[in-house]
Amino acid sequence: MKKILVLCTGNSCRSQLAEGYLRHFAAGKAEIYSAGIETHGVNPRAIQIMSEDHIDISAHTSNHVDEYSNISFDAVITVCDNANEACPFFPGKVDRFHHNFPDPAKAIGTEKEVMAEFRQVRELIKAYSADFVNQYIQQK
């Protein structure tokens, strides 16, 4: 079974969304982890918007990438440029993927505007995750 790590800066929003969707779409055909090069805690808005799409990430934790140093990953997906640049070396044959998603935690405006940004990023990550599972997990 493939082991996939999603990595971002703080493991609070984008990587949490991706972990939730990758687990959903992989449906037990891969082990999915997420981490940050820092830990900022899981963003409550990320939990809220995922629950709107019937995916519960409320039990997720914000983990530092070093916590997974003993796992041999098959793939690492960086979901922001900062994590891509700071991504540590993973020994062995590890496929690297990168997509820079906007950071919804940096959205400004009214609560309605901020939540709209979270939902927009959620949809981008949902589409990426579905495509990733179809191409990388289902096809191999």
Q: Which residues are marked as active site?
A: 8, 80, 87
- Asked whether 60 and 42 are in contact (CB, 8 A), the reply is yes
Determine the Cα–Cα distance for residues 52 and 101; give it in Å rounded to an integer: 20
Q: Is 36 helix (H, G, I), strand (E, B) or coil?
A: strand
Q: Are strands 75-78 and 95-98 parallel, antiparallel or unpaired?
A: parallel
Phi, psi of 75 (to 5 degrees): -150, 145
Tokens representing residue 122 in the block: 């959620």
Length of the chain equals: 140
Q: What's the half-sphere exposure (Cβ side, CA atoms, 13 Å) at 25?
A: 22
End-to-end CA distance of the chain: 10
